[in-house]
């Protein structure tokens, strides 16, 4: 569902690297709307998400990633959560 001219982007936590839990309490399986859930997502994760969301919003693709999707990790060295950013049609 598009919002104005920008497509909706969904962020889903799909995995984690490391043995510790997330300092913000996030866990695998959580899903967020990039625009409306910004205050709910860890600022470090949002910082990492921004370039990927920007690429997807303007029709770009990433090498080795399905069209309309981008997988990335947050920058927390204790527990790097794996996120998938996806354009919601």
> Over the stretch 54-80, which tens digit does the pLDDT of each residue have?
999 999 999 999 999 999 999 998 999
Any residues with CB less than 8 A from the CB of 11 and at least 6 apart, and which?
A: 31, 32, 33, 34, 37, 41, 45, 49, 83, 84, 85, 86
Quote the pTM value. Answer: 0.89
How confident is the model over 24-60, as pLDDT tens digits? 999 999 999 999 998 999 999 999 999 999 999 999 9
Spatial separation of the C-alpha atoms in residues 76 and 59, rounded to whole Å:
28
Domain boundaries, the chain: 2-22+30-88
Which class for 24: exposed (0-12), middle (13-18), buried (19 or more C-beta within 10 A)? middle
Both structure tokens of 7 = 């497509």
């Amino acid at each position: 569902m598009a919002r104005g001219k920008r497509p909706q982007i969904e962020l889903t936590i799909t995995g984690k690297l490391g043995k510790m839990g997330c300092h913000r309490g996030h866990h695998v399986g959580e899903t967020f709307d990039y625009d409306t859930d910004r205050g709910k997502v860890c600022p470090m994760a949002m910082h990492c998400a921004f370039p990927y969301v920007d690429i997807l919003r303007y029709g770009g693709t990433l090498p080795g990633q399905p069209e309309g999707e981008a997988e990335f990790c947050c920058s927390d060295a204790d527990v790097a959560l794996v996120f998938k950013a996806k354009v919601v049609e």
